[in-house]
Structure 1
Amino acid sequence: MFCPQCGNQLEDGASFCGKCGAQLGGGAAPQGTKAPAAAPSSTPVSPAAVAAGAGSVAAGVMKTHGKLVIGGVVALVVVVAVIAGVVSMLTGGTTLGQTTDTIRRAFEAQQPYLVEVPSSDYTNDTPYSIASFEVTDMKVQNDDWLTAQVKTAVENESFRVDLTYSLDYYPYPDTAYRSPDQTGEYVFNLMSRTVTPKKGIEKDDVNGVGGEGLELNEETGTCQTTVDKTYQFWFADAVSTKTITYAVGEYGWYVEDENTTRKVTYKDLDGEYRAKTGDLTKLAQFTISGLNAETGTFTITYKINGWTEEGGWGNPDSYSEASGTLTAAIEPATSDYEGQSDGYSYYFEAQGDSDHGSRQASLSGYLIQSDDGSKSIEIDSMSIGQDETDGWNGEVSSTVFDGTGVVYKQ
């Protein structure tokens, strides 16, 4: 038989191996023979040796169980990283003690958004509240200060305002800005702002908007109103129709467009007129007729009395009567001069003929409302051809009668 431990040939029935001392049949070892025993060492094992031994064992294991060992190492690294992150957050080491909650409290205390919200020129002034708040990209810069980005939305009954700020946090005491529960300076710098209307305008005293206000067009983000206003003058009724479109910009509602149309109906111009003072007292007749209520055209029939004046060298210049007709047309225009309550001046020009002199006549003026309520026309130019006899040689030439002043309806 042979020893199963070292392969030494033995006698049949041997109870131990005489070469290596291995027990074979459970019998006792012969006297004088001892099994090898580990001798105690008085020399301590160095950490380096232990590490080396561990490395050798690990290397041996890796040869046979590589996948298992690699998986265990990766898992161990992940666990260590997670624990380190949790400890870092608990101690505040990577964010200088800042969290979304602490930054929000500082934001609520400073209320930087109050200077960014729209004006209440066309809306009722209601308080704003924070609808959403998000802090991202927190970074510590050289352990001296923290930067981050803040996205928030504030809203009241009329608007939603989306705001983006850059944040600088300086963790130093005795600074101007503090959160309620810590020292440190918070500086919010606006990066972007978007204003979204929640409803249409609620008031515009100038254009008569009030009550329930105007309905918001959700598709265009605008609202619109039409204002009709009637002006009554002795010579016309004017209806102004103004369509106003309101839009929202970064500062709130504003008038984006105004489109005004007018319809004027003329009246009460036909009749006789007389001047009270000035050159126009020479008018023996001034009659308006044939008024077209839609176009404002009419006809003037006039007559100027003849008169004589003393000329040079004792020879009188004689003037004969002149008469004729003029065709006039009113042209309303925006003007400060003789402007009526609707902001328009009702100016007219007339061209026609004279039966004397140059045979031509022209006239221009304004339809006005006198302070005393009289129906009056201010004539700023009236040129009528006249006959003039020259005192030197008796020749007859054309001259012009210039008259200005006010004529009143009789």
Structure 2
Amino acid sequence: MNTASPGAQAPDALLEGAYRKTIWRMIPFIFICYLFNYLDRVNVGFAKLQMLDALQLSETVYGLGAGIFFIGYVLAGVPSNLILHKVGARRWIGTLMIVWGALSASLMFVSSAQSFYILRFFTGIAEAGFFPGMVLYFTHWFPAERRGRVMALFMSAIPISGVLGGPLSGWMLNHFQAGQGGLAAWQWLYLLQGLPTVLLGIAVYFVLHDNVAGVKWLSSAEKQAMQTALVEDEKRRSAGTVSVDSFASVLRNRNVWMLGAVYFSIQMGVYAINFWLPSIIKSLGFQNPAMIGWLSAIPYFAASIFMILVGRSADRRRERRWHLSVPMLMGFAGLLIATSFADSPALAILGLSIATMGALTGLPMFWPLPAAFLGSAAAAGGLALINSLGQIAGFVSPYLVGWLKDATGSTHVALYILSAVLFCGAMIVLSIPAKTVNR
């Protein structure tokens, strides 16, 4: 009989229990925060269905307004994450959410292209620190081998925001058509989807904790086990052959810029879907806003399931390249199907569903990769830099689609270009040596 077995298993059982507690305590609340973060960012796609006609704005103006958000986002990304590293997640994330929620609700006052641009720009500045801040926050709680599943749970808020936000936005546009309270339906949409973010920002001050040591719902032994796991994870990363130890070396490291290019390609597909999906569905012959809302939920619902399954598979197999590149290739193929069969609503929606499943799943599958390159000294600035490089696509993608739609009368050419970008990104991922990222 092996009498050492129970004692050897006890620390593992303790650690597993600590992670389960942590996930259930933290992730549902952070999930809701990210859901409203994404909803506030992309609800302009539904508001567009009525706002453009009401304000007599062109598709190009809409594309620029949707994209200018990301100029502010990119400019503020690194400074915001460095501030979070100094003051702590609880205070900084809470403050950011209150500010961007108020700015998002203020889009109801847009009356011209200029006011649209200004509010979107400053909303982007306020939102910039949230996502890279949460990626950094997770590194203070979970080692690299557990972050694939955690990131998938966290980022499933993106497709869920589409599942819930599409029908909700469509209902709002229908319900408030009469202009209740002196506001148009698109104004009600901004107001009612922005205010909850302010309330969640206040709640952050009371719910989040900056690190493992500060929580009361873990025992001393559980805290010690989690902290030991984090120390061991940092030692493994520091021993990596491409580890980056400072922000200055991040700027000089070609692998970080390569990862930024991969993230850029993923986001080109993601934001094409997020900002233009309602308009693409409308172009298939559907005019009722409520119907457009329900149909837009289909691709996001499929993506929410697929994202979780792929995240679990990636962690279980400890494989990263194919779990990222295959979803990116799905995004490539799905956009081609949606564009090639635009005269068949069923096939077009199938293509959009495949594209959404692939592109959105690429987001959480990407983020374990930088952990293989960045040491703790570089994580705050490095993660924000990679995120900012990717978010440039948030400007390029919607503006490109809007400009080409005005120039050609359809979104076909733009979607072909975006699918090609996703394909190139997948090829870059497959060029990375497996031993570098499969951890």
Global fold match (TM > 0.5) = no
- Range of TM-score over shorter length: under 0.3
User: Whose strand fraction is larger, Structure 1's or Structure 2's?
Assistant: 1
Question: RCO greater where, 1 or 2, for CA within 8 Å and sep 6 or more?
Answer: 2
User: Whose helix fraction is larger, Structure 1's or Structure 2's?
Assistant: 2
Greater gyration radius: 1
TM-score (norm: length of structure 1): 0.21
